Amino acid sequence: MWKIILGVILALIIAAFSGFQWLIQSIEGDVRANPDIMPAHIPYIANAMPATRGTILMVLTSTDVMGNSDKPTGYELSELARAYYVFSANGFAVEIASILGGTPPAVIDADDMGDFDYAFLNDDQAQQKVRNSMPVSTLDASRYRAVFFVGGKGAMFDFPDNPHLQTLIRQLYEQGNVVSGVCHGPAALVNVTLSDGTPLVADKRVSAFTNSEELLLISDAQEIFPFLLETKLSQQQAEVVTGPDYLAQIAIDDRLLTGQNPWSVWALAEEVVASLGYTPVARERTDEEHAVDVLLAYHHLGLEAAVVEAEQRIKAGLRLKKELIAVHAILGIMQGDLGNTVGVIRLLSRINGLAQGGSL
């Protein structure tokens, strides 16, 4: 029996790896972001509503190295840029703070950069706010309608035990305002207690970067980080809501709104706007978001449902970021799930057929 099992595994490995050359070729049609794009070139940004709805605070880490390791870190640029433009497009003034103030360290991954991210880098006003971020020790909670904690692994080190953040969060929440964070940003919440002594997250639905996502990318994360975020939230009696690894997942519990990872930013930021009583301004969704939708359909409903999701978008003239779909095939190998790898390769093959004028 074991010989049969080994034979099947070997066949799957050969099939998967022989497909990787094809995977690389299949994503050549992806449209790359424009590094020179300006905010004025993106209608969603250029047509932003006047900032008459109050102020949203965005908080960044000041940590540039992961603990005692030599691994660089900081805040995730894409998590800042995309949420920043959602808030400003919807009529909110946006202020930026960091733990120490000044210019915080950024993590910029060229493979993940989109037009909104480059526009943010080319946005003089936004960059001035980043370079001159306010130290959290100077913040006045009464000035803000919401706070949004930007992720980045640095947040695991300087968010959890900062007394100024804890006071700010408690005051905002108890004043009836919105508290939100994405990816590692919810690390700011783990040690916050309300005036009655209960943990803020106790008995609340919360999403954040999961243990499986963390450990897949950093195998020694338990030694590097002070804790694993999913575990710590669970220890604080939070109901941790998780979705498939590296795909969008948000949790909404009254005025506490959180997201699992960078792919959750768009939806989370728009839910913050909705929670403040406004219908989010219509936005053309990105090719990355369409790819995420198709992958979520694949994980939750199966291959055929994912193909239908892809076909609807392709017929409407929308683009899918096929590179992101291909990455999820590789993830299957990294996670030891060869069946998933083969399934995602089949999905991408069907998508390529549709894009070339084929049928289901």
Does 179 reside within a domain? yes
The mean pLDDT value of the chain amounts to: 92
Query: Quick one: average pLDDT of 39-64?
Result: 98
From 243, 275, 307, give the residue that closes a domain: 275
Q: Are 122 and 247 in a shared domain?
A: yes
| CA 95 – CA 123 distance, rounded (Å) | 14
Q: Are 111 and 240 in a shared domain?
A: yes
- What confidence score (pLDDT) does residue 28 get? 56
Residue 84 has pLDDT above 50, yes or no: yes
Query: Quick one: average pLDDT of 41-66?
Result: 98
Does 280 reside within a domain? no
Q: What is the CATH number of the domain that holds 109?
A: 3.40.50.880
Q: What percent of the chain has pLDDT over 90?
A: 87
Secondary structure letter of residue 199 according to DSSP: B
Read off the pLDDT band of 111 (50, 70, 90). confident
Q: What percent of the chain has pLDDT over 70?
A: 91
Report pLDDT digits (tens) over 250-269.
999 999 999 999 999 999 99
- What confidence score (pLDDT) does residue 104 get? 98
Q: Are 290 and 263 in a shared domain?
A: no
CB 275 within 8 A of CB 252: yes
Report pLDDT digits (tens) over 259-317.
999 999 999 999 999 999 999 999 999 999 999 999 999 999 999 999 999 999 999 99
Residue 259 backbone phi and psi in degrees, to 5: -130, 150
CB 181 within 8 A of CB 148: yes
The identity of residue 354, as a single letter, is: L
Q: Are 167 and 305 in a shared domain?
A: no
Does 360 reside within a domain? no
What is the extent of the structural domain holding 312?
A: 2-30+285-355
Q: Are 268 and 290 in a shared domain?
A: no
- What confidence score (pLDDT) does residue 356 get? 78
From 248, 275, 302, give the residue that closes a domain: 275
Q: Are 303 and 252 in a shared domain?
A: no
Does 51 reside within a domain? yes
CA distances in angstroms from 353 to 118, 164, 295, listed in the order given: 31, 54, 17
| CA 205 – CA 170 distance, rounded (Å) | 17
Does 254 reside within a domain? yes
- What confidence score (pLDDT) does residue 8 get? 39
Q: Are 99 and 207 in a shared domain?
A: yes
pTM: 0.93
From 275, 310, 330, give the residue that closes a domain: 275
Q: Are 215 and 103 in a shared domain?
A: yes
Query: Quick one: average pLDDT of 39-45?
Result: 98
Query: Quick one: average pLDDT of 333-348?
Result: 94
Does 86 reside within a domain? yes
Does 290 reside within a domain? yes
- What confidence score (pLDDT) does residue 29 get? 61
Number of domains forming the structure of the chain: 2
Report pLDDT digits (tens) over 137-147.
999 999 999 99
Query: Quick one: average pLDDT of 157-164?
Result: 98
Q: Are 94 and 218 in a shared domain?
A: yes
Residue 238 has pLDDT above 50, yes or no: yes
- What confidence score (pLDDT) does residue 5 get? 36
Read off the pLDDT band of 354 (50, 70, 90). confident
Q: Are 208 and 109 in a shared domain?
A: yes
Q: Are 304 and 209 in a shared domain?
A: no
Residue 298 backbone phi and psi in degrees, to 5: -60, -45
Q: Are 156 and 224 in a shared domain?
A: yes
